[in-house]
Amino acid sequence: MRGKIGLEEHFAIDDTLLDSKGFFPEDIWVEVRERVLDLHGRRLRLMDEFGMDMMILSLNAPAIQSIPDAKKANEIARKANDYLAEAVKKNPKRFRGLAALPLQDPELAAKELQRCVKDLGMVGALANGFSQIGDPNTIAYLDEKQYWPFWSMVADLDVPFYLHPRNPLPQHSRIYEGHGWLMGPTWAFGQETAVHALRLMGSGLFDKYPKVNIILGHMGEGLPFSMWRVVNTNGWIPNRHHYPAKKKISEYFQNNFYITTSGNFHTPALLSAMLAIGTDRIMFSTDWPFENIDHAAVWFDTATISEDDRMKIGRTNALKLFKLKGS
C-alpha cells in the first residue's frame, strides 16, 4: 500500500540521545544512534521504498519525563520542539510533529502545548508515561487531579495525546529482578502503559472532557485482548468495581482511545484489536528507528484484512484524527 502514515516515529536531540542507549547492546548502539538522529536522509529513503507518505515525529523516551526539575524539563522540551518544528518546516509534506511536554509542571505543560499547536503547527503531543517530579523517586501519573487543567487545554485545542511507554522505576521493578530481558518493549513497557491507561479510564477524566483522545501504541499495550476481563471480572458480584468514572471502562476505551500497530506486526493481534476497538480507531505505525520500517510495512501490506480496512488503518484514520489534508 502506498500513502501510509506512521505516527509513532521517533527522533532525538543531543540532550536526549543517551536516553535510548541503555535499551540496546553496545555493538548495536552505533546503528541506533545513526537512525534516531537522522531525519531527512535514510529515513526518507525508507519511507519512499516502503510506501510511507508521512511520519508524525516525536521525541525519544523517556526524555522530558525523566528530568525531575520542572524548569530544566521545560527548557529541554522547548529546545526539542523548536528543533522538530524547523525539521518539519523543511519538508512539511512528509513530516508533522507531536510536542514534548514538561509535565512535571502541568501549567508549563499546558502553555508549551498551546505554543506548539498554535505557533509551531504541531498536531498533538506525546508523553513518555509518568513524570519524575522534584527528585528522581517522586512520580506522578496523568490521571491525578493536578493534571486536569492540563487536560482542559488538550480538550480546548482538540488535538490527540499519545501515551508512550517507559520502564517503571527500579524500586518498582522487583518483579523483573534477575530477568532484565523482560524490561523495555518486551513486557515492562506494555504493562506500565496499560495500567496508566486504565487509570485514566477509571478516573472520570473522560466524563469531564469527553472529546479528549488518547493514542496507545503496540496494538494497544495488550488492552484489546484483556478488556473483557477488566470489565467483567466476578460479574456475579453486584457493583464489583469502584472507580470515579460513570461508565464501563470498555466504553472509554472504545470512545476515547486510538491504538497503533507500532512494534507489533502480528495479524492475529490486529484482528483481535479490530474486533475490540473497531477499524476506525486503529492506525499504522512502525516505531522507527527502534523497529524496522520494512518489517512493519511488508507485514501490513500483506495482512489478511480487507483493502477498505487497510486504507483506513494505513492512512485515512490518521488524516481524520490529526486533521491532515490528503493528497
Q: Which residues are bridge partners to 215 per DSSP?
A: 162, 258
Nearest to 221 by CA among 280, 140, 277, 175: 277
Cell numbers found for residue 297: 510495512
Neighbouring residues of 198: CB distance < 8 A, sequence distance ≥ 6: 223, 230, 249
In Å, how far are 66, 177, 191, 320 from 174, measured between CA atoms? 20, 5, 14, 42
Sign (positive/negative) of CA torsion 182, 187, 188, 191? negative
User: Is 38 one of the catalytic residues?
Assistant: no
Long-range contacts of 30-34 (CB under 8 A, 24+ apart): 32/289, 32/290
The answer to whether 238 touches 196, Cβ cutoff 8 Å, is: no
Catalytic residue among 287, 294, 308, 309: 287
User: Helices H, strands E: what count in the chain?
Assistant: 13, 10
Q: In angstroms, rounded to a whole number, what is the distance separating the alpha carbons of residues 291 and 77?
A: 24
Q: In angstroms, rounded to a whole number, what is the distance separating the alpha carbons of residues 222 and 218?
A: 8
Q: How, if at all, do strands 125-128 and 282-283 pair?
A: unpaired
Task: Give catalytic residue positions.
Answer: 287
